[in-house]
């Protein structure tokens, strides 16, 4: 069943995604608000496909906070990349530079207000990322980052990338860590499986902490569902 489930899901997901990306220029004609609504609809479609075809339930633990926040999330599959943007009210998401180079998708992501970062960032690139993040903060938007830098298999907990601490310092916002358990349902490679996807929102961590302390607390919190 997992083979059939995975095949059917991929046909519908990638077919839907192609259509949604091709419609981005149309959505962009109506302004940023409409473009964000378009992205949220895409995320809703993905959640529906995962629930209906794969048979995966989504559970939220903790309280989804309101107000302007720096969200730091675990990244195990594609679902949180879209679902968290919908769930959190269209925050400005930090995106690796490679994705910004994809034709049309990269243009759409920039129009949406993503923050581009080079994973092997030098000082100049990190300063550019922080300037973009401060612009997002000035508009009242929250910011979402996956501080481990990429999707990781369940059970793995690589160190946080250096850009997280700089972003935390530059934004001067409280951090809400988001632990995610999704890789056992939608692995980076291999078949998809039925089960439960969990998003766990941690307690807010105040701004202004030393680098080692904030990194240690966030790292522990986003990996709370490991194992």
How deeply is 157 buried, as exposed, middle or buried, from its count of CB atoms within 10 A (0-12, 13-18, 19+)? middle
Residue 5 CA to residue 116 CA, distance in Å, equals: 34
Walk along the chain (227 residues) and give the pLDDT tens digit of each residue: 889 999 999 999 999 988 988 888 788 778 788 888 888 998 999 999 999 999 999 999 999 998 999 999 999 998 998 899 999 988 988 877 666 666 666 677 777 777 877 666 667 777 777 788 888 888 889 999 999 988 999 999 999 988 899 899 989 999 999 999 999 999 988 899 999 999 999 999 999 999 999 999 999 999 999 86
Q: pLDDT at position 79, please? A: 93
Q: What are the CA-CA distances from residue 75 to residues 192, 222, 225 (Å)?
A: 16, 9, 12
Q: pLDDT at position 103, please? A: 66
Structure tokens belonging to residue 30: 């109506």
E strand segments, 115-156: 115-117, 143-145
**What top-level class would CATH report for the domain 57-222?**
alpha beta
Q: pLDDT at position 208, please? A: 94
Query: Does pTM top 0.75 for this prediction?
Result: yes
Q: pLDDT at position 116, please? A: 76
Residue 192 CA to residue 97 CA, distance in Å, equals: 27
Q: What are the CA-CA distances from residue 156 to residues 81, 159, 224, 227 (Å)?
A: 18, 10, 11, 9
């Amino acid at each position: 069943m997992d083979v059939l489930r995975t095949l059917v899901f991929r046909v519908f997901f990638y077919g839907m995604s192609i259509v949604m990306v091709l419609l981005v220029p149309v959505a962009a004609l109506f302004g940023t608000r409409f473009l964000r609504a378009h992205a949220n609809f895409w995320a809703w479609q993905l959640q529906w496909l995962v629930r209906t075809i794969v048979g995966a339930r989504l559970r939220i633990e903790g309280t989804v906070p309101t107000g302007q926040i720096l969200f730091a999330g675990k990244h195990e599959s594609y679902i949180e990349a879209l679902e968290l943007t919908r769930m959190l009210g269209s925050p400005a998401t930090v995106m690796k530079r490679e994705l910004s180079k994809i034709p049309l998708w990269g243009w759409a992501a920039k129009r949406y207000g993503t923050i581009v970062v080079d994973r092997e960032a030098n000082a100049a690139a990190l300063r550019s990322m922080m300037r973009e993040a401060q612009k997002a903060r000035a508009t009242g938007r929250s910011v979402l980052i996956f501080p481990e830098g990429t999707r990781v298999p369940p059970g793995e907990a690589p160190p946080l990338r250096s850009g997280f601490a700089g972003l935390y310092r530059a934004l001067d916002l409280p951090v809400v860590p988001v632990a995610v358990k999704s890789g056992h349902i939608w692995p980076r490679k291999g078949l998809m499986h039925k089960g439960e996807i969990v998003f766990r929102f941690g307690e807010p961590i105040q701004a202004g902490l030393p680098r080692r302390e904030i990194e240690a607390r966030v790292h522990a919190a986003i990996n709370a569902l490991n194992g």
